[in-house]
Amino acid sequence: MEHNKLSLEYDRNLINSLLNDINCKYLIFFLYIIRKDLFKDSDPELISKYERVIILDEIFKNNVETFWDQDFIDIIIDLGLFKNIRNRSDYNRKEGDFILRMGDITITVEKDTILTPIDTLSSMINRRFKSSKFNDFSSCITKLKEIRCELTSTTHRLIYEIGEEDLVLSDDLYELLDEIGNIYQAIKIEFTIEEFYRKFKENQEKLMSYTSIFDPLLDKMVDIKQTIKKDGSKEEIIEFKLGGLKKIKRSLEDTVEIEKDQKLEFIGVNFNFKLSEKIVNINLSALNYQTLKKLQINMENLNRELKEIKSYYSGKNRKYNYLEFLEKIPELKDEIQKLLITTKSNIEYIIEMMSSIESQLIKID
């Protein structure tokens, strides 16, 4: 069986196994995107414009705007090659005399060969995927330099290490990924989900810091119940649980006269703390308590939504292996886009509600 060139016919399982290794997957994908999407497969004009900027001792935003087109700048920002720029909006806010940092070493091109330093590649990946830790690139590089075909005795070289610090994607692997397509779209989907997860975790931690103050007390004492009013509209009320009601009545009965059918209504709790010379007041109204409980439910739903989107390509219940996911992106794109839009809207709602409730909960005098 003659088989020298990497192909899906012979090497599908091999490619899938590499894409299941997150270190190898992102290393391969970022090298591909740099060559395919950033430099348009080593376009001489693009490379020339790129080099005219990176040779400068200090790179001002004006230099970048003069020589690079906006699509090129977008990909540079997506890849995190500007060390002091978070995203496109951040870049747009900068003045023309703002100095852009690309690091002491960065991507270079020699005789149409794109050289990507290992440290630059590692920094790009870790910056974009902060929730994951990528620290095993050395073993991944060793694996990719020479890997045996699963069906023949052929050895494939998927990357080349030039000198001690630069990596080059092999033409074989580049052409195979080009045949599959959709690499950049897949990474952008993962970028987006990663950013959603970051915002989700940030707000989840805030919510937990507040609920941990009140829940031990209120979860045991009160319930939020929904009632139907005469006009058919729904109304949520907070009722004391039977055990909690008995405790409160016992503590009040010596000083407050409570009639048999009289109901206690929960209106809130208030805590005061002294911090240095300042008084910190935490005030939880009945309305804010309802809001916190709703936010807990929203957080749980949001977590499920994010897991649902990720299940297209990862996790125990994934729908497709990663190679299938890449191949199916054209038909899945609209479906995933709708889920991302809905999730983005839900995150924005949670952030807005958290901001609103924070301003009402805590006051410092």
Given a cut of 90, is residue 60 above it in pLDDT? yes
Name which of 37-41, 72-76, 109-113, 133-137 the model is least confident about: 133-137
Q: How many CB atoms lie within 10 A of CB 287?
A: 14
As a whole number, mean pLDDT of residues 356-361 equals: 81
pLDDT, position 257: 60
pLDDT, position 250: 54
Tell me: the pLDDT tens digits for 9-44? Answer: 888 999 999 998 888 999 999 999 999 999 999 899
The average confidence (pLDDT) of the chain is: 84
Given a cut of 60, is residue 1 above it in pLDDT? no
- Angle subtended at Cα 138 by Cα 137 and Cα 142, rounded to the nearest 5 degrees: 115
DSSP symbol at 101 = P
Helix, strand, coil content of the chain in percent (nearest 5): 55, 15, 30
- Angle subtended at Cα 178 by Cα 70 and Cα 48, rounded to the nearest 5 degrees: 40
Which pairs from 21-26 meet CB under 8 Å and 24+ separation?
A: 21/140, 22/132, 22/134, 23/134, 23/136, 23/137, 23/139, 23/140, 24/140, 24/143, 24/144, 25/322, 26/125, 26/129, 26/134
Confidence of residue 328 (pLDDT cuts 50, 70, 90): very high
Given a cut of 80, is residue 215 above it in pLDDT? no
pLDDT, position 89: 94
Read off the tokens for 215.
């829940």
Closest CA to 159 of 171, 177, 148: 171
Tell me: the pLDDT tens digits for 339-353? Answer: 999 999 999 999 998
- Measured CA to CA, the distance from residue 195 to residue 262 in angstroms comes to 51
DSSP symbol at 36 = I
Q: Are 61 and 100 in contact (CB under 8 A)?
A: yes
pTM > 0.75: yes or no: yes
Phi, psi of 59 (to 5 degrees): -100, 110
Given a cut of 50, is residue 179 above it in pLDDT? yes
pLDDT, position 260: 57
Q: How many CB atoms lie within 10 A of CB 183?
A: 19
For residues 85 and 231, which has the higher predicted lDDT (pLDDT)?
85
Read off the tokens for 144.
């990719």
Given a cut of 70, is residue 299 above it in pLDDT? yes
Given a cut of 70, is residue 222 above it in pLDDT? no
Given a cut of 90, is residue 296 above it in pLDDT? no
pLDDT, position 243: 47
Tell me: the pLDDT tens digits for 120-175? Answer: 998 888 888 875 555 667 888 888 998 888 777 788 899 998 988 899 999 999 99
Q: Are 20 and 171 in contact (CB under 8 A)?
A: no
